[in-house]
Structures are given as C-alpha cells and as structure tokens.
Amino acid sequence: MVIDLRSDTVTRPTDGMRRAMAAAPVGDDVFGEDPTVNELEERTAELLGKEAGLFVASGTMGNLVSILAHAGRGDELIAGHLAHTFLYEAGGSAALGGIHPHTLPNAEDGTLAVPAIEEAIRNPQDPHHPPTRLICIENTHNRCGGIAVSIEYGRAVSDLARQHGLSVHLDGARLFNAAVALSVAADALAACADSVSICLSKGLGAPVGAVVCGSRSFIARARRMRKIVGGGMRQAGILAAAGIHAFEHHIDRLADDHRRAQQLACGIERIAGLSSPQAHPVPTAWTNLVYVHVDPERAGNTATALAQKLAERDVLCLPLARDQIRMVTHLDVSDEDIGTALDALRSIANET
C-alpha cells in the first residue's frame, strides 16, 4: 500500500460516503431543482453564518467566482504574496476578470500587517490608480504551514475594510481544520468576510467540490459568474451528497489529522538534516500540513532526491523547493502510516 502524503486532495470516498452519493435524490441544478445541492448549499450557509450558498466544482472556481462577483475589470484586490489565489490559481482573476492583484508580504503566521493593507488601499479619486475593491485572506494558510488564523485577525481586517468601503473574501479551503484547531465554530472564523469559500475535497474527504457562501445578493452575482466560467452542473446532487456526508461524519475527526501531523513533525525533528516548524505547537495552531526543511549538506539529499527515495519506499510527498517538502495528513493516513513514513525517512538518513 502506498502512503500518499502529497495532499489531502488524494482521499477516496469512504463506503458510507459512496452509499450516500448513490442514494442522493437529484434534479437539474442549473434550474435550481436539485434537492441535494440545495440542501448542501443551505447547510453550508448555516454552518458559516451566511444567508446563502453556491455549490461549485472546485476551490479554485469558488475563489474565482467570488472575486469576479466582488470586482470588475480594472479594479484591484489586495492579497498576500503567498496566497493560494495568487500562486496557484493560474492567474484566473486577472486572465478572466481583468482584476489587478496587489500583493503584500505574508508574515510567518499567514497574516498581512493591517497597517500595510491600509497603506496599500488606493486613492479612489486618483485616475492613475486601479480602484481597490477587495481584500483576500486565507484560513488555514497553506504556504505558511497550514496555520489556523485567529478570529481577532479576521476582525481587524474586516474593520479596516468597512472603514474604506471594501469587501473581504476568505479563502477558507481548510476552514474547518482551522475551526477544529482553534476550538471555535466555523461561523466565528467566517464572520469577518463578505464571502467565504470552503473545499469539500480536502480534509473533509469528498471527491469533488466546494461551496461559496455570502449574502443572497452576492450569491446571485456569484451564480452568474459560475455560469460564465462554465461551472453550471446538472444532476450534481450525486456530488453534493458527499459534502453533506462529510459535514455529518468528517469534521470532528480532523483533530486526528492534526494529531498525526504533529506526530510526523516531531519525528522529523529527530532525523539529521531535517526539521519542521510544526514540531513546535506553541503558540501557533498548526493543522494537517507538515512543511519539512531539508538541509542538503546534513541530510545528504535535496528535497527532490529525498522525495524520490521516499517514493521508492511507497511513501509519497511533495517537493516544493531544493530544501523543502510538504507532507499532509488526511483520512486515508493512519497512525501506522505515520510510523512507516518516519521509518522510511530514518532509513534514508542512515544511508547517507
């Protein structure tokens, strides 16, 4: 059996989830007639404290239709230089929406300095500037180690946005991981945002899909944007049923993924040439992502070489740079798998 630690997107539907999908009542969602999709959208909106929801094909689509619904051609959004929307979504907001990204440095904890955000807001009266319309934040923050960002930070960004008449979009792909890690309700973390997108196909273990939530008027605009980008689905209840099952069975168990990630990070810290900030839980709320620093001099391997050697031992991880790999725990990874992965890492270290 291969132990796949590349991402939590590699999960396979559980038997219970497959049964729920097979039994789902369906209709035509573009006509608003799929009862399972409607239920998923209503449940997600309730969980996140918003008026309405919209089922979309992916987290990237969720962020894209949200940005397109908030801003138009020639407008500007503010985001972190390590934001998923900036790094990993093919420049969709610029390519399809003509929306200009203004990036600011992410701090180690995934946040943007609030004074820096305020300074970046353009003068709307100056014709030289693209008007600022939107601030995008992320929780958990992927490239900052899967850090759960606090309610207080979201509140500070929201307060600033209100002062300047801006909207806030929360890329909450792993928002439920953040809620579990911080022991707070998901709606408390989403309260800062005018719109929020959550992924069903990461830690929650569904095979496909994401949900965008916001006000009814916002969701009406987002629904139109979904159609523009080709995201209108028909009998999509088969997919939505997986999300409903995940809400009922897979949220609380995210704590197991976080515990295993901590176990993995602590084991990595004891291997020569390897280290992980996730091995040090205080004061940061880490979740299920483990970023590993590889010292090529001490480890005897670059990150890519180490990943290749792990793959030969049926352990998969994701090299991100010459000196960094990422490992992600999820519902298809057991305590035994963590032990096996650490044994493989120790074996490679002993070869050098």
Question: Is residue 79 a contact partner of residue 101, using CB atoms and an 8 Å limit?
Answer: yes
Give Cα 21 to chain centroid, integer Å.
24
- Can you give the pLDDT at residue 352? 66
Per-residue pLDDT tens digits of the chain, which is 352 residues long: 899 999 999 999 999 999 999 999 999 999 999 999 999 999 999 999 999 999 999 999 999 999 999 999 999 999 999 999 999 999 999 999 999 999 999 999 999 999 999 999 999 899 999 999 999 999 999 999 999 999 999 999 999 999 999 999 999 999 999 999 999 999 999 999 999 999 999 999 999 999 999 999 999 999 999 999 999 999 999 999 999 999 999 999 999 999 999 999 999 999 999 999 998 876 679 999 999 999 988 878 899 999 999 999 999 999 999 999 999 999 999 999 999 999 999 999 888 6
- Can you give the pLDDT at residue 8? 98
Give Cα 173 to chain centroid, integer Å.
3
Query: Taking phi first (over 0 means left), then psi (-120 to 50 degrees means alpha), and beta for anything else, what does residue 114 get?
Result: alpha
CA distance 294 to 325: 8
Count how many residues are written for the chain: 352
Task: Name the H helices within 56-140.
Answer: 59-70, 84-87, 92-97, 114-120
| DSSP notation for 136-179 | EEESSBTTTTSBPPPHHHHHHHHHHHHHTT-EEEEE-TTHHHHH
CA distance 12 to 237: 18
Q: How far is CA 65 from CA 166, 186, 191, in A?
A: 17, 21, 20
> Taking the domains of the chain in order of start, what are their residue ranges?
13-249, 253-351
Q: Where are the beta strands (DSSP E) in the chain?
A: 3-4, 52-56, 76-80, 100-104, 132-138, 167-171, 195-199, 210-214, 274-275, 289-294, 315-316, 318-321, 324-328
Return the amino acid letter for 126.
Answer: D
The dihedrals phi and psi of 61, each to the nearest 5 degrees, come to -65, -40
Which CATH number fits the domain 13-249, given the four candidates 2.40.50.140, 3.30.200.20, 3.40.50.150, 3.40.640.10? 3.40.640.10
Of 220, 104, 91, give the one whose Cα is nearest residue 157. 104
253-351 fold: Aspartate Aminotransferase, domain 1 (3.90.1150)
